[in-house]
């Protein structure tokens, strides 16, 4: 037994482990630099800001990742047991102080820089003139309510909710302001016009998630959560639920259509009926 | 404290199978009981994950009906697997094996004590944990099946009963009751660990001479004491909401499939998240801190070098524990809580990167200038360092609320926490097993099988969890039982297939470990008292240790825990208990 332990440090495991670590580093670098799997293009200024912060974080963590893994590969190869005597060093306070300060500046600095994109999303209200849209989540459907010609959302009441008879958000039709509200299963917004969503849920927690907006926000029962964005690119984008909401979570799916201002007005004037304009079936997901 | 006082605690060696092996008060037997419980749980947990991976890439696959009732997996069955996989792994594996299992066995021996401070409470905490396990597994077999709300059990999904989905009836009740029992057991265990570390250390064993494993168990116990009380309270509140009509977490006016939910008003779903993550984030460190201790211990032993920066290691672990209680909000950036608090949670979270980096650099410093022997234990300890770096760095993305807007609840998160809290912690458990097995069972494990196990597992876990980060970059949401409804997920099929294949291979490789474990227990070559030429007190007693750990001769301690390659000494290690006169001089 004694004999075997003495010889446990042969070159083979050191070499294999070092090579595996280098393969890990190489393949990870390749996949991130070649963007083999990547984000869809962002369609908001905030989205581009978040992409920038992601890239910055990728560079800094990438340096630490490569440095640590390659360093690990190097020490296990260099200091494998070849019969030498190990050093008896207990440490080095100067180095402790250097790497503590360096990582503090790097990591906390990164955290402070990330504040800007977050502030743009959450620390300011929507601009005056932003289009108000109410988003309601329920197992397992999305509904979007527009205030209609009167510009006012009508009253809703849980007792009036009846998805099966066409009143999924529970409009109280005794309120005149409610009668012209438009409730549709697709989110249609005009391009280059800020939108203010108010998120609410009827039953459990859901989460509004559009990848191209770089935006995710939970819909919490009992709360009305505002978020705003300004989309700059016409097109149709998938809308997914990102918070586990029950057995149909995976199929709680819709889309967001960003259309020209004129198309938007035409669609809204038609009471939310799907219309064919500009090569897109506005009001109905592909 | 003298050895005389120790002797007072020691009960006579029990006779009879039941007192010796079942309702034992011996910390060593209890430690092994915890480890075998964790082994049972991890086998179930791995099978559940394989079933999920199968279903994701072969959605129509037929399973035997004793495995999946109905043959083809339904969305609710998939989600019940998600819930139970996470719950079993987090509570009954990652909390149970590294702390309660190895900690129970080795903390008293490493500090020169005859047993834990409260042996009967120790026994009670194991049997509570066992009861919790039975109640949890029972959730599979009740009408409606296991809960579908995930291991985080967010209300209202988990708070309204059967109306929100299958498994949300009796299954969810059992889940909550099990977690409450488990919390009680963990509180008792934590008290015992803290009292033992403070009161029962051998003469001369000051805190700054404790092995880093003992430090890790001590800090983990403090985290457990502060965290599990909150989870216990939260669980009771949720149970009251479900059964007694209270409204801690349920607001008024909810409508589930057109039916108004009466009888609730004023509750806040976010309250649950705050309570849960106040426990849940420290829980991550409860899982991984013991692994850090084990990695330090083993890296030092097999590079024949003192731990680089011992004090820095102790301070780093303490600050990880301390900061760990102030960052729970980073799980809630998109939850609807105040966006201003997100900045504080974010900066505090980023600063946990600092002690984590200190630990990594000190591990590299420990290897630097060493004489490295690649035993199976050492390979897993090195693997731990690599996984800790990879899993830790992806945390720096998620800690930034702006980036979390995109990555939250995607596979990026799944990849991140599996690497750092799942696989890194499990590598710590494997390293501990290969290292301490000879002391526990008196026999050596097979090194060849151990290395084979390491190579396949190391490559396998990276092949499973690195690609999940790429899925997250594309935006793949987690906890989806099916990807067909979202068109952007279709091109990701090949990654999912790759992950599934890697998972099958990696899971199969664990058979080498289980085979090695039980075969070596009976047939392995007899182990000497100190097979690794290590320095700490567990290697100074006989193998396996007697009932009172040291046969009545309790050691005193004369030096720090990692005196390797000391110049002028005859051998390249000096055990902690040798007096200066007993240390051989080099010729």
Q: What are the C-alpha distances in Å from A95 to residues B47, B77, B382?
A: 45, 53, 22
What does the pLDDT average to over A191-204? 98
Nearest CA in chain A to B461: A24
Is B374 in contact with A8 (Cβ distance < 8 A)?
yes
Out of A53, A69, A250, whose CB is closest to B386? Answer: A69
What is the pLDDT at residue A111? 84
The answer to whether B296 faces chain A, any CB pair under 8 Å, is no
Q: Which residues of B touch A140 (CB under 8 A)?
A: none
Query: Which candidate from A84, A121, A247 shows the least CB-CB separation from B371?
Result: A84
Measure the N-to-C terminal CA separation of chain A; round to a whole number of Å: 69
Interface test with A, best of B372, B434, B435, B491 (most A CBs within 10 A): B372
Residues of A in contact with B365 (CB under 8 A): 89, 91-92, 95
> What CA–CA distances, in Å, run from A198 to A138, A185, A217, B106?
15, 15, 10, 55
- Residue A65 to residue B393, Cβ atoms within 8 A: yes
Neighbours of B143 (CB within 10 A): 10
Question: Mutating which of B370, B528, B564 best tests the A interface, going by the most A Cβ atoms within 10 A?
Answer: B370
pLDDT by position in tens, chain B (length 587): 344 444 445 566 777 888 888 899 999 999 999 999 999 999 999 999 999 999 999 998 899 988 888 889 999 999 999 999 999 999 999 999 999 999 999 999 999 999 999 999 999 999 999 999 999 999 999 999 999 999 999 999 999 999 999 999 999 999 999 999 999 999 999 999 999 999 999 999 999 999 999 999 999 999 999 999 999 999 999 999 999 999 999 999 999 999 999 999 999 999 999 999 999 999 999 999 999 999 999 999 999 999 999 999 999 999 999 999 999 999 999 999 999 999 999 999 999 999 999 999 999 999 999 999 999 999 999 999 999 999 999 999 999 999 999 999 999 999 999 999 999 999 999 999 999 999 999 999 999 999 999 999 999 999 999 999 999 999 999 999 999 999 999 999 999 999 999 999 999 999 999 999 999 999 999 999 999 999 999 999 999 999 999 999 999 999 999 999 999 999 999 999 999 999 988 76
Ramachandran assignment for B531, one of left (phi > 0), alpha (psi -120 to 50 degrees), beta (any other): alpha
A97 in contact with B at a CB cutoff of 8 Å?
Answer: no
CA–CA separation, B420 and B438 (whole Å)? 28
Q: For chains A and B, what is the number of CB pairs under 8 angstroms?
A: 357
Asked if A224 reaches chain B (Cβ–Cβ under 8 Å), the answer is no
CA–CA distances in Å: residue B276 to residues A144, A206, B89, B283, B334 = 31, 18, 17, 10, 16
| Residues 344-373 (B) with a CB less than 8 A from some CB of A | 346-347, 349-351, 353-354, 357-358, 360-362, 364-365, 367-373
Which among A107, A117, A220 is the nearest to B270, CB-wise?
A220
pTM of the predicted structure, to 2 decimals? 0.96
State the pLDDT at residue B164. Answer: 96
Who contacts B111 (Cβ-Cβ below 8 Å, separation ≥6)? B196, B197, B200, B201, B202, B205, B210, B214, B537
B485–A16: do the CB atoms touch at under 8 Å? no
- Across the interface, do A118 and B165 touch by the CB < 8 Å criterion? no
Diameter of chain B by CA atoms? 88
A214 φψ region: left (φ > 0), alpha (ψ -120 to 50), beta (else): left
Beta bridge partners of A275: A282
The residue-averaged pLDDT of A71-87 equals 95
> In this complex, is the C-beta atom of A112 within 8 Å of any C-beta atom belonging to chain B?
yes
CB B471 within 8 A of CB B410: yes
Residue A257 CB partners (closer than 8 Å, separation 6+): A186, A187, A188, A189, A235, A236, A237, A280, A282, A283, A285
Asked whether the bond before A140 is cis by omega within 30 degrees of 0, the reply is yes
Residue B272 is predicted with a pLDDT of 98
What ipTM is given for this predicted complex?
Answer: 0.96
**Contact between B200 and B111 (Cβ < 8 Å):** yes
* B:493-512 residues touching chain A, CB 8 A cutoff: 495
**Do the Cβ atoms of B554 and B6 come closer than 8 Å?**
yes
Q: Give CA–CA dist A3/B190, Å, rounded.
A: 41
Q: Hey, is B181 helix, strand or coil?
A: helix
List the single residue in A207, A223, A248 with the smallest CB-CB distance to B409: A207
Q: Scan residues 248-267 of A and list those with Cβ closer than 8 Å to B.
A: 248-251, 253
Distance CA A25, CA A71 (A): 11
Q: Indicate if the pLDDT at residue A167 is higher than 90.
A: yes
Do A214 and B405 lie within an 8 Å CB cutoff? Answer: yes
The β-bridge relationship of strands A131-138 and A195-201 is: parallel
E strand or H helix that includes residue A117: helix A115-122
Instruction: Check whether the bond before B560 is cis (ω within 30° of 0).
Output: no
For residue B572, give the nearest of B367, B431, B371 by alpha carbon.
Answer: B371
The two structure tokens encoding residue B31: 């430690």
The pLDDT, as a whole number, for residue B4 is 41
> B351 to chain A nearest CA, in Å?
6
Phi/psi of residue B530, each to 5°?
A: -135, 75
Which of B83, B327, B402 should we substitute to test contact with A (largest number of A Cβ atoms within 10 Å)?
B402
**Residues of B whose CB is below 8 A from A242:** 334, 408-410, 477
* DSSP letters for B204-258: T--GGGS-HHHHHHHHHHHHHHHHHHHHHHHHHHHHHHHHT---SS--S--EETT
Residues A9, B371: C-beta atoms closer than 8 Å: yes
For residue B15, the distance in angstroms to the closest alpha carbon of chain A comes to 34
Whether the CB of A99 is below 8 Å from some CB of chain B: the reply is: yes
Peptide bond into B152 cis (omega under 30): no
What pLDDT is stored for residue B21 in this prediction?
86
Contact state of A14 with B372 under an 8 Å Cβ cutoff = yes
- Beta partners for residue B432, in sequence order: none
Distance between CA B380 and CA A13 in Å, rounded? Answer: 12
Question: For the purposes of burial, counting CB atoms within 10 Å of the CB of B570, is it exposed (0-12), middle (13-18) or buried (19 or more)?
Answer: exposed
Cβ(A202)–Cβ(A158) under 8 Å?
yes
**Cα-Cα-Cα-Cα dihedral of A24, A28, A29, A32, to 10°?**
180
The CB density around residue B485, as the number of other CB atoms within 10 Å, is 18
> pLDDT value at position B11?
61
pLDDT on residue B8 = 45
CB contact under 8 A, A211 and B565: no
Determine, for residues A9 and B394 on separate chains, whether the beta-carbon distance falls below 8 Å.
no
């Amino acid at each position: 037994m004694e004999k075997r332990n003495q010889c446990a440090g042969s070159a083979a495991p050191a070499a294999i482990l070092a090579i595996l670590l280098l393969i890990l580093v190489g393949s990870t670098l390749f996949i991130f630099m070649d963007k083999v799997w990547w984000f869809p293009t962002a369609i908001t200024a905030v989205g581009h800001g978040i992409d920038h912060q992601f890239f910055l974080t990728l560079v800094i963590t990438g340096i630490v990742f490569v440095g640590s893994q390659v360093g690990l590969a190097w020490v296990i190869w260099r200091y494998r047991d070849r019969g030498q005597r190990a050093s008896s060093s207990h440490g080095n306070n100067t180095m402790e102080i250097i790497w503590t300060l360096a990582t503090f500046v790097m990591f906390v600095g990164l955290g402070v820089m990330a504040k800007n994109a977050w502030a743009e999303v959450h620390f300011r209200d929507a601009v005056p003139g932003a289009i108000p849209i109410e988003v309601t989540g329920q197992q397992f459907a999305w509904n979007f309510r527009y205030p209609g010609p009167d510009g006012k959302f009508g009253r809703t009441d849980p007792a009036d909710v009846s998805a099966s008879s066409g009143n999924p958000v529970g409009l109280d039709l005794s309120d005149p302001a409610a009668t012209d509200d438009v409730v549709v299963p697709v989110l249609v917004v005009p391009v280059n016009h800020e939108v203010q969503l108010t998120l609410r849920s009827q039953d459990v927690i859901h989460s509004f998630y559009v990848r191209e907006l770089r935006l995710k926000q939970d819909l919490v029962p009992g709360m009305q959560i505002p978020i705003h964005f300004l989309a700059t690119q016409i097109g149709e984008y998938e809308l997914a639920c990102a918070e586990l909401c029950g057995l149909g979570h995976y199929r709680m799916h819709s889309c967001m259509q960003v259309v020209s201002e004129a198309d938007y007005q035409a669609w809204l004037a038609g009471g939310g009926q799907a219309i064919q304009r500009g090569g897109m079936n506005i009001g109905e997901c592909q | 404290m003298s050895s005389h006082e120790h002797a007072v605690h020691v009960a006579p060696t029990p006779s009879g199978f039941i007192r010796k092996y079942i309702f034992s008060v011996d910390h060593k037997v209890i430690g092994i009981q915890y480890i075998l419980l964790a082994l049972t749980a991890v086998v179930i947990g791995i099978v559940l994950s394989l079933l999920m991976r199968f279903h994701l890439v072969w959605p129509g696959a037929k399973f035997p009906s004793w495995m999946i009732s109905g043959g083809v997996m339904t969305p609710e069955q998939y989600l019940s697997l998600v819930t139970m996989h996470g719950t079993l792994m987090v509570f009954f594996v990652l909390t149970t094996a590294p702390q309660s299992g190895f900690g129970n066995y080795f903390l008293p021996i490493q500090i020169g004590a005859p047993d834990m401070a409260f042996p009967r409470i120790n026994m009670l905490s194991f049997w509570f944990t066992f009861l919790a396990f039975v109640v949890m597994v029972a959730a599979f077999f009740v009408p409606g099946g296991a809960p579908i709300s995930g291991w985080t059990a967010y209300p209202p999904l988990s708070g309204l009963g059967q109306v929100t989905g299958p498994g949300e009836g009796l299954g969810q009740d059992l889940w909550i009751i099990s977690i409450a029992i488990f919390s009680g057991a963990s509180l008792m265990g934590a008290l015992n660990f803290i009292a033992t570390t403070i009161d029962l250390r051998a003469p001369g064993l000051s805190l700054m001479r404790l092995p880093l494993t003992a430090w890790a168990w001590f800090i983990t116990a403090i985290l457990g004491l502060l965290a599990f009380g909150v989870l216990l309270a939260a669980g009771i509140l949720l149970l009251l909401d479900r059964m007694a009509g209270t409204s801690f977490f349920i607001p008024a006016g909810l409508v589930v499939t057109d039916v108004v939910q009466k009888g609730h008003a004023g509750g806040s779903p976010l309250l649950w998240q705050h309570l849960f993550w106040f426990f849940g984030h420290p829980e991550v460190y409860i899982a991984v801190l013991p692994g850090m201790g084990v990695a330090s211990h083993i890296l030092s032993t097999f590079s024949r070098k003192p731990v680089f920066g011992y004090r820095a290691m102790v301070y780093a672990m303490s600050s990880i524990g301390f900061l760990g209680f102030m960052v729970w909000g980073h799980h809630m950036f998109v939850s609807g809580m105040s966006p201003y608090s997100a900045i504080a949670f974010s900066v505090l979270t980023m600063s946990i990167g600092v002690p984590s980096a200190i630990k990594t650099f000190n591990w590299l410093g420990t290897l630097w200038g060493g004489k490295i022997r690649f035993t199976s234990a050492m390979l897993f300890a090195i693997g731990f360092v690599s996984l800790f770096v990879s899993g830790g760095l992806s945390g720096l993305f998620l800690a930034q609320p702006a980036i979390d807007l995109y990555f939250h609840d995607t596979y990026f998160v799944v990849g991140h926490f599996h690497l750092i809290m799942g696989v890194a912690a499990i590598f710590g458990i494997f390293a501990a097993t290969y290292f301490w097995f000879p002391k526990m069972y008196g026999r050596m494990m097979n090194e060849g099988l151990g290395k084979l196990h390491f190579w396949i597992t190391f490559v396998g876990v990276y092949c499973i969890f690195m690609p999940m980060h790429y899925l997250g970059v594309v935006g793949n949401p987690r906890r989806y039982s099916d990807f067909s409804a979202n068109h952007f997920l279709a091109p990701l099929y090949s990654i999912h297939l790759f992950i599934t294949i890697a998972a099958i291979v990696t899971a199969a490789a664990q058979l080498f470990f289980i085979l090695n474990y039980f075969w070596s227990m009976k047939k392995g070559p007899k182990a000497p008292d100190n097979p690794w030429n290590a320095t700490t007190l567990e290697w100074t007693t006989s193998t396996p240790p007697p009932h009172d750990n040291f046969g009545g001769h309790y050691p005193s301690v004369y030096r720090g825990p990692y005196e390797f390659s000391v110049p002028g000494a005859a051998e390249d290690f000096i055990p902690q208990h040798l007096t200066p006169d007993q240390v051989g001089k080099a010729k």
